Structure 1
Amino acid sequence: MEHVIAETVNYIKNIFLNDFSGHDYFHSLRVYRVAGTIAEQENADMEIVSLAALLHDVDERKLSPETYEKKEHAVSFLKEQCVSDDNIERICKIIDEVSFAGNDSVIPSTVEGKCVQDADRLDALGAIGIARAFAYGGNHNRAIYDPAIVPKFGMSKDEYQDHVTTSINHFYEKLFLLKDMMSTDTGRKIAEKRERFMREYVDEFMAEWDGKDY
């Protein structure tokens, strides 16, 4: 397993070499680390969790739309590593269920999927989550904030994916929803702390924007 993990780390490092959207190599490494911590508490299959966490973005719709449906990057790599077809299917199922999709978001069907999904969502929270939100916004030509654009709630998967928003609205439309969407006790505990920090940040942002901090 250690050899396959090492090969997977090298693989994603090359895949995300020039990514500056917040879905970079280090994001995947953080998800891998946190997913492993959660998996230990949940008695999950560590190999499946590790590989799914490391590979969860290699076929992500926004990053690789041409391979998204069939998870071609993940499948091809795992076959090269002689991972069994059964385990490849399990890993692809986890990857398919991991993403936030508005009201159409799913609770993963396996404990391994819950570990990976919680870890991925935790990386969207806290100090790093704030940094990633603005990195992604700048990378996709989003305004930081515009009072004329109000947050939109209750979106379907298609509405969420096509929605044009601001980076600050993204906190309300997605990030502040994640704590209550955690599937594991470990995920919820970490999320509570990280969300609290983010809410304090947004409160300070709005106070400065409105000139109420002096």
Structure 2
Amino acid sequence: MEEAVIQKAIQYIKEYFADDYSGHDYWHSFRVYKLAEEIARKEQANLFIVRLAALLHDVDDRKISPDTYERKENAVSFMKQCGIDDRIISDVCTIIEDVSYEGNSVTPQSLEGKCVQDADRIDAIGAIGIARAFSYGGNHNRAMYDPEIEPSLNMTRDEYRKHISTTINHFYEKLFRLKELLNTSTAKEIAEHRDRFMHEYVDEFLLEWVGKR
């Protein structure tokens, strides 16, 4: 039954995110699923809960579906249709609630939540993270860079939600912070190369911006 639910969830998110070009598309959720699965195996977490939460983690995201965000209506509806136990539904919804970064970091209480949060954050850094950042910025009419606009650091949750900046500033405001906010040793190991590559990219970008390359 568990494998059948996972396959249904994969098909569900493939259809749900079919028209998304903001960097929160089907492939993002699928990569988070695969990363979370890898982390969960090494950290000995409950694989079914991790896999299910990873696949559904964005279907009620505030940025994508603000009307269902509070009650996680899309995720709950899908799980109920699959006959998932109420306890598991509650666990998955708690993980989904805690996964996002919004100016500060919520540390999930469960190992499963830590695995999913780590996977989501790893997909926000490295080469894929760079591509997603510029995809999201272009999708929301944000400038790539403006040297006259300084990054805003240490924002509150409300400030972060309302904040409009440049894509390069987003690296300083969020992406460069993620490696230090990871929960598991497995995720920290995966993140080392990605984080280094991302810093090197921004350094190169800033040099090219002023014509030094």
TM-score (structure 1 length as normaliser): 0.98
Match of residue 101 from structure 1: 102
Post-superposition shift, 1:152?
0.5
Matches within 5 A, 1:87-166: 87-103=88-104, 105-166=105-166
Match of residue 206 from structure 1: 206
Distance 1:47 1:120 in 2: 17
Task: Report runs of 4+ in structure 1 exceeding 3 Å deviation.
Answer: none
Match of residue 40 from structure 1: 41
Distance 1:156 1:54 in 2: 28
Paired-residue identity, %: 61
Letter in 1 for 2:71: K
Match of residue 27 from structure 1: 28
Query: Could you list the per-position Cα deviations for residues 117-166 of structure 1 after superposition, in whole angstroms to 9, with x for gaps in the alignment?
Result: 00000000110000000000000110000011110000111111100100
Match of residue 16 from structure 1: 17
Match of residue 189 from structure 1: 189
Distance 2:3 2:164 in 1: 42
Distance 1:101 1:131 in 2: 20
Distance 2:155 2:15 in 1: 34
Number of equivalenced pairs: 212
User: Structure 1: any 5+ residue segments left out of the alignment?
Assistant: none
Post-superposition shift, 1:34?
0.3
Post-superposition shift, 1:102?
1.2
Secondary structure at 2:64 match in 1: coil
Q: Does 1:170 align with 2:170?
A: yes
User: Structure 2: any 5+ residue segments left out of the alignment?
Assistant: none
Query: Could you list the per-position Cα deviations for residues 70-120 of structure 1 after superposition, in whole angstroms to 9, with x for gaps in the alignment?
Result: 0000000000000000000000000000000213x2001100000000000
Query: Could you list the per-position Cα deviations for residues 142-197 of structure 1 after superposition, in whole angstroms to 9, with x for gaps in the alignment?
Result: 00000111100001111111001000000000000000000000111111110100
TM-score (structure 2 length as normaliser): 0.99
Distance 2:100 2:157 in 1: 10
Letter in 1 for 2:208: E
Root mean square deviation of aligned Cα: 0.5
Secondary structure at 1:207 match in 2: helix
Distance 1:26 1:175 in 2: 19
